[in-house]
Amino acid sequence: MKILAIVSQTQDTEAKIKVSASGDSVDTEGIKWIMNPYDEFAVEEAIQTKEKHGGEVMIVSMGPGRVIESIRQALAMGADSAVHIKDDSFADIDSFAMGKVLAAEIKKLGDYDIIFTGMKIIDEESGQVAVQVAEELGIPHVSLVSKVVEIDPDGKKAVCQKEIDGGHMVVEVPLPCLITCPDAMNEPRYASLPGIMKAKKKPLTEVTLGDIDLGSIGLSEAEMGKEGARVKTVEMKVPQIERKLKIIKGQDEPMVKGAEVEQAAEELIKLLRDEAKVI
Amino acid sequence: MNNEVWVVADLKLDGSIRKVTFEAMTEAKNKIAGKLGGQLCGVLIGSGVSGLVSEMGKYGAEKVYVVDNDLLKNYNTEGYTIALSELIKKHEPAVVIAGNTVFGQDYFPRVAARVGAGVTMDAVEIDLTDDKTLRIERFSHSSKAIPTEVFHSHYPMMTTVRPNSFKAVEDPKEPEVIDGGVTINADDIKTKVVEIKTKESDRPELTEAERVVAGGRGLASEENFKHIYELADILGAAAGATRAAVDAGYCPYDMQVGQTGKAVSPNLYIAIAISGSVQHFAGMGSSKVIVAINKDPEAPIFQKCDYGIVGDLFDVLPPFTEKVKALVSEG
């Protein structure tokens, strides 16, 4: 099987978030860049699929030079090769153009059976690109797949379990298809030391924006940046929710004990009823 | 292009319309349709949906487009994508909105790619700029940032909206019904539903609940989660959990709230034995009132909640639950 995984790099959102001087983005100074956690599930699923059915895993990634670190991580986990669509000007690209560019590059890779990618990217919190890649490729997608039940490479189909509101759904989909990965789908492996050594020798192809014939995929130069984007970020704020911070504690030690428990429960209910008016 | 503002109904598996649809209709009418000088229209896509027209009218739809087809039963990606894409191409609305539900997240971006539209997801504010383009706010960076995003130069302008972000207000209209006239062939349907498992539960769903009671790893067992369910049921609340509690096997994944679970925005969020990690707050930080019960006075949640008790849940919860029960039964 030829298995693809689309991998993005994202800001580590554990960090304190500050608005940049321009006011329309997050300040990336001192921010740590990591492989998008959802894409780790995608890479793991791709490798497990290869281990089960044979074949190769190819990583496809789009972004500036730093993205190479996440690509190497995926190769060290066990992927076989990678394509890096590399350009520094991608910062302002919208999902529509990104979907088209990724699909155009994937088409050049020849036939493939299945594509895995994360359900969303944790910094932008946008989940539309994956689905839009599938649309541009003209293949079906199954989103939020909690479990790949079965892949039948000969019968050219896959059976997936997908989480829905209030339950789950099992769907059968013909190959090739694209699958988006939520949390808890699998346990991504760590890159081993030999894996890290081997990764350095694995084939890595670099593609630049100049290599892409934008006209042939119906995109103008302007649509690759902020000017022509269908959607652009004009302002970035940090949420300012003032919380009341009314915390009931014990007399002698922080924890309420003994008779204090009843009082605390009573007091909390009063606050919720009379002040917050939520019960 | 015309000036119509469309809200596509999000359906539950039992065929009823989700609350988020009506929330989106009220907000779209007040914030967008008026300024744009266009009609608020409903869109019904599904099997046996014709009977839902009056529901859409109740919340202000002046027109309802209907694609009623057996092939759309139980939702499928291709059928919904074809139906909405064809409707958009034929009638050229200015704005198209749907709920950010599992289904909305699945087909909406695909439709946007097909019709060449811009799309944003999970908006918590929607508005119109002076240039009459759509402006939305949403959460990013684990809910630690709020980008304002503006559309331009391409129509329609499409967005999904987060459930519980707006208030639904009735505004009865007698809508004009327009048959979508979209043809869907059996061959068009690629993803076939083999099985659907829904949980029989009287509790509201997490994403649309007004109140949520959630438990963390401190509950210490699956058995102890009964404390969470008991309080939830008394309050008519949904039951939630942290990733740690789900990973420990105390409750199923569909209860997980947080970055890697569901995003909720209830009026009241009661966090029991939850420390308050960045990842958990990414899923519930926009709750209107946050209450914490935790025995660790240093737990981060005490720095970002409204009310709290420092105490052992096994001491505090039983009397608290009893008193809430008494209060609720008093009415």
Q: Chain A closest CA to B156's CA: distance in Å? A: 10
- Provide the ipTM: 0.93
8 Å CB contact of B77 and A243: no
Nearest to B163 by CA among B238, B219, B95: B238
Give residues 128 to 187 of A whose Cβ lies within 8 Å of B: 128-129, 131-132, 134-136, 140-144, 146, 159, 162-174, 177, 182-184
Cα–Cα distance measured from residue A256 to residue A266, given in angstroms and rounded to the nearest whole number: 13
* A136 vs B contacts (CB less than 8 Å): 113
With cut-offs at 50, 70 and 90, classify the pLDDT of residue B22.
very high
| pLDDT given for residue A123 in this prediction | 87
Residue owning tokens 């890159």: A191
So what's the architecture of B206-330 in CATH? 3-Layer(aba) Sandwich (3.40)
- pLDDT at B331 > cutoff 70: no
Cα–Cα distance measured from residue B162 to residue B159, given in angstroms and rounded to the nearest whole number: 10
Which whole-number Å values give the CA distances from A106 to A7, A17, A58, A190, B112, in the listed order? 13, 34, 10, 26, 20
Q: Yes or no: say if A15 and A32 are a contact pair by the CB < 8 Å rule.
A: yes
Give residues 241 to 280 of B whose Cβ lies within 8 Å of A: 243, 246-247, 253-254, 256, 259-261, 267-268, 278
Q: What is the mean pLDDT of residues B14-33?
A: 96
Q: What is the rounded end-to-end Cα distance, in angstroms, of chain B?
A: 52
Looking at the domain covering B5-188, what would its CATH class be?
Answer: alpha beta
CATH H-level, domain A2-224: superfamily: HUPs (3.40.50.620)
Q: Which backbone phi and psi does A65 adopt, to 5 degrees?
A: -55, -35
What residue segments make up the domains of chain A, in order of their start?
A: 2-224, 242-279
Residue-wise pLDDT for B131-142, tens only, equals 999 999 999 998
Cα–Cα distance measured from residue A59 to residue A8, given in angstroms and rounded to the nearest whole number: 10
Residue-wise pLDDT for A14-50, tens only, equals 778 899 999 999 998 888 999 999 999 999 999 999 9
Q: What is the mean pLDDT of residues B71-97?
A: 96
- Helical ranges in chain B per DSSP H: 19-28, 34-36, 53-58, 77-91, 102-115, 226-235, 243-247, 278-284, 313-330
8 Å CB contact of B112 and A255: no
Nearest chain B alpha carbon to A161: B195
* B259 vs A contacts (CB less than 8 Å): 13, 122
Q: Chain B closest CA to A139's CA: distance in Å? A: 9
- pLDDT at A212 > cutoff 90: no
8 Å CB contact of A163 and B254: yes
Hey, is the C-beta of A222 within 8 angstroms of any chain B C-beta?
no
Residue owning tokens 């963390």: B216
Residue A88 has a CB neighbour count (10 Å cut-off) of 10
Nearest chain A alpha carbon to B257: A183
Tell me how many residue pairs between chain A and chain B have CB atoms under 8 A apart: 279
The beta-strand segments (E) located in A129-202 are: 141-142, 145-152, 157-164, 167-174, 177-181
| pLDDT given for residue A222 in this prediction | 87
- pLDDT at A88 > cutoff 90: no
8 Å CB contact of A166 and B12: yes
Nearest chain B alpha carbon to A231: B151
| pLDDT given for residue A167 in this prediction | 83
* A132 vs B contacts (CB less than 8 Å): 109-110, 112-113
Hey, is the C-beta of A95 within 8 angstroms of any chain B C-beta?
yes
**% of chain B with per-residue pLDDT over 90:** 89
Read off the pTM. 0.92
| pLDDT given for residue B266 in this prediction | 95
Give residues 252 to 271 of A whose Cβ lies within 8 Å of B: 254-257, 261-262, 264-266, 268-269, 271
- pLDDT at B112 > cutoff 70: yes
Residue-wise pLDDT for B260-313, tens only, equals 889 999 999 999 999 999 999 999 998 999 999 999 999 999 999 999 999 999
How high does pLDDT run on average in chain A? 93
What's the 3-state SS for B95-162? EEEEECCHHHHHHHHHHHHHHCCEEEEEECEEEECCCCCEEEECCECCCCEEEEEEECCCCCEEEEEC
> Which residues of chain B form CATH 3.40.50.620?
5-188
8 Å CB contact of B150 and A232: yes
| pLDDT given for residue B142 in this prediction | 86
| pLDDT given for residue A166 in this prediction | 76
8 Å CB contact of A96 and B112: yes
